[in-house]
Amino acid sequence: MGRADEAPPGRHPHRTALTRVARHALAEARGITDAALRNTTTGRSVPLLASLASALDAAGPLRRFATRPALRRLHDGLDHFQSDVESVVRFAATRPRPAELRWRATQIDVRLGGHDVTDAFTGETVDDTGTTEALRLIRRELDQARTTLRRAATGHRGEAPPRWWDWEPVLHHMTNVYGRRTTPGTAPLARLERLAHHFHGADLRGAADIATPRLGPLLDRIRWNDATVWPQEWRDRVREGSVPHAGGHLYTGATGNRR
């Protein structure tokens, strides 16, 4: 009778041992990734995105409408940054060569250095204290996340890729902005997206003073319903350029959609 650790008939013993090692490494990598992406450490009881969303909500629908292009850029930038950082963490868990990990982290830094996501409001009138302060704090936390990400990825020259404790400072700053990375924790970013697009029942009559050349970007992909009140001179254009969507309408700008 063969030993318990002998390879089954037809399988090479060294190949079996390598398979066990590979499975163990994969399980360990997945464990590190899962722990990292849970983002369970934070220094704030309320994530900064939730504070920003509350300030924007309090400003009213007309204020949100007037800054829609900036709101959309802000949401998209924050969404991409979160995805990029999570991608690097997942990649690190696969134990890549340190040079590859450093390159990926550097690409994030270069992109964000060239276009700070929180600068989406540049040129806009952000005159309420809550919005201004939330944007300032978000920028600070993201800058710190970038710095700690760079340190984690470049501090292992010739060594093994970073482990969980190397990522913890990065994820601490990320959690301060986005909240815990669970299904409920993604709500602040989803709320920001809703504030930028959802105008069911909003009274937008006061938007008539906005210059007409800016109207296209302001209306693009806006979600509204029959309870939304538009300026009289915009009504035909909005209805003509909209299609049915989720119990209301979605403005696409295409003509020939009149119902």
DSSP 84-120: HHHHHHHHHHT---HHHHHHHHHHHHHHHHHS-GGGG
For residues 144 and 56, give the distance between their C-alpha atoms in angstroms, rounded to a whole number. Answer: 24
Record the tokens describing residue 239, joined without a space. Answer: 């209805």
Per the structure, the count of domains in the chain is 2
Using pLDDT thresholds of 50, 70 and 90, give the confidence band for residue 239.
very high
If asked whether residues 146 and 209 sit together in one domain, one would say no
170 C-beta neighbours (distance < 10 Å), count: 26
Q: Write the pLDDT tens digit of every residue in 158-188.
A: 555 566 667 778 888 888 888 876 544 458 8
Residue 113 shares a structural domain with residue 219: no
Provide the residue range defining the domain that includes 32: 16-196
> What pLDDT is stored for residue 127 in this prediction?
57
Distance of alpha carbon 18 from alpha carbon 92, whole angstroms: 21
Write out the two tokens for 15. Answer: 């190949």
Q: What CA–CA distance (Å, rounded) separates 16 from 10?
A: 11
Do 72 and 172 belong to one domain?
Answer: yes
Predicted confidence band of residue 1 (pLDDT cuts 50, 70, 90)? very low
User: Does the pLDDT at position 19 exceed 70?
Assistant: no
Structure token pair of residue 81: 């940054």
Query: Which amino acid, residue 101?
Result: L
**Whether 19 contacts 151, CB under 8 Å:** no
Are 22 and 56 part of one and the same domain? yes
226 and 175 share one domain = no
CA angle 148/172/126 to nearest 5° reads 90
Highest mean pLDDT of the ranges 30-34, 49-53, 123-127, 143-147? 49-53
Identify whether the C-beta of residue 30 lies closer than 8 Å to the C-beta of residue 93: yes
Query: CA 30, CA 161: separation in Å to the nearest integer?
Result: 14
3 found inside a domain: no
Share of the chain above pLDDT 70, in %: 66
- Residue predicted with more confidence, 61 or 18: 61
Tell me: do 69 and 143 sit in the same domain. Answer: yes
Q: What pLDDT does 67 receive?
A: 85
Residue 26 has pLDDT above 90, yes or no: no
How big is the chain by its Cα radius of gyration, in Å?
24
Check whether residue 157 and residue 180 sit in a common domain.
yes
| Stated pTM of the model | 0.76
| pLDDT for position 70 | 84
Give yes or no: residues 158 and 82 share one domain: yes
Residue 249 DSSP SS3: strand
